[in-house]
Amino acid sequence: MRDAAHILEEYHKIADLNKGNKTCLVVGAGFIGVELATEIEYFFPQVKLTIIDFLKRCLGPLPDSAAEYCSEYMHAAGIAEFYEKKYAPDDPAFWKDIGLEGKADKEYVCIGVKASNYFMPKEVLSDKGPGGGGWVHMNEHLQVELKGEFKDGKEVRGELWADGCVFAVGDCNYGCIGNPKQGWVLPPIPKISYPGEEQALHAVINIIRMDKKKFGGHGCLTSTTMVKTWWPWGAGMFATSLGPHDACFVMAANEEKGSGYMVNWWLPAAIQKEFIETTKIDECKDGMIGWMIWYFVHHTPVHLWGRGRQLAPCGSTCCGWHP
C-alpha cells in the first residue's frame, strides 16, 4: 500500500507540473532515466523536460546504435539533452549551462544503485562498488563469504560465512568475483531482474544439493556436488522503452563498454517489451502461459551463444538444473 500511495503521489505531482507548464530535470541518462523522461513526455506533454548525464551520451555502457536511436527520439520529442555535465544543484552556473533559469520545478535523480545490506555484518560487505560499497561478498556457489584482503598486490579470498548456509543473489551481492588485474573469476553482472532470477535458481539447486550431502534424501538422482554460477546469457539483454509505442532492444552486451547489438527497435520492440512484462506478471500470478514461458527461459536445454552453461554437471548437454 505504501508503494501504491507513493506512485499516486508522484502522479499528482507530475500532473500539476503539466498544468503549469513547469520544468523537470532527470539526472542520469541510463536506460532508467531515458525511460522516465520519455514516459513523462508522452503522458504529460506540457512538462518541459531536460535530461543530463556525466558521460558523453545516453545509455553509457550500451552500443552506439542504441544510444543514437534513443537520443534521436528524445530530440524529436523536445527533451533537452546535456551530456558531460556534473550534477551540481546548488551551483547557479549549473542551471544556466543546461538552459534553465534557476532550479527545475521537479528533479528525478536516476544515477547508480545503493546497497541496502545494513542488516549484514560488515565483515561480509564490500568496501568498494556502486554507491560507495556495502555489497555482499559471495563465492562461485553464491554462498556469502568474508571479504578478502590484498597481500603482495594479490587478492586473497575470504572464508565462508555462517558455514556456507547463507546465499546472496541479485541486487544484494557484489556482482562479481575477482578483479580485472588478476582476471575475473566472474565479471561484473548488471543489477537487473534477469540475473537475479537466474542466480536464485542456481542458489536453490545448490541448497538442495547441500542438504542432501548433509542430511540425505532428495532421491538417488540428486547430485551432492554444488554447481558454480556463471554470467547469465540474459544479463546482456536490455529493453529500453521510449514511451508506450517505441523502444529499442539490445542483446549480447557484457561488461565491456559499448558491447552488444541493437537487434529490435520502434513498434516491434515496444510490443516485445509489453509481451515480456505481461507474461512475467502472469507467471507471478501462477498463470499457466507465463509459467510455461519463463520456466523454459531459466531451464534452456542448450545455450548456443554467450556465457551460459554448455554442459550439465553430469556431462550431458541438458540444462543441468535438475537437483
Phi, psi (5° rounding) for residue 14?
A: -70, -35
How would DSSP label each residue in 216-233?
Answer: --S-TT---SPPPP---G
How would DSSP label each residue in 27-63?
Answer: E--SHHHHHHHHHHHHH-TTSEEEEEESSSSSSTTS-
Residue partners of 85: CB distance under 8 A and separation at least 6: 52, 53, 54, 94, 97, 98
Which pLDDT does position 257 carry in this prediction? 86
Nearest to 50 by CA among 36, 64, 66: 36
Phi, psi (5° rounding) for residue 139?
A: -100, -170
| DSSP E strand stretches across the chain | 23-27, 48-53, 80-83, 106-109, 149-151, 154-156, 177-179, 183-186, 238-241, 247-251, 261-265
Domains identified in the chain and CATH numbers: 2-109 (3.50.50.60)
Rounded to whole angstroms, the Cα distance separating 11 from 65 reads 32
C-beta of residue 62 within 8 angstroms of C-beta of residue 250: yes
Rounded to whole angstroms, the Cα distance separating 197 from 229 reads 12
Q: What is the pLDDT along the chain (323 residues), one digit of tens a residue?
A: 677 899 999 999 999 999 999 999 999 999 999 999 999 999 999 999 999 999 999 998 899 999 999 999 999 999 999 999 999 999 999 999 999 988 999 999 998 788 899 999 999 999 988 888 999 999 999 999 998 877 766 778 889 999 999 999 999 999 999 888 778 889 999 888 888 998 998 999 999 999 999 998 888 888 899 989 988 878 889 999 999 999 999 998 888 888 899 999 999 999 999 999 999 999 999 999 999 988 888 777 666 555 665 444 443 334 444 44
Which pLDDT does position 49 carry in this prediction? 98
Which pLDDT does position 222 carry in this prediction? 87
Give the pTM: 0.84
Phi, psi (5° rounding) for residue 109?
A: -95, 110
Q: Please name the amino acid found at residue 231.
A: W
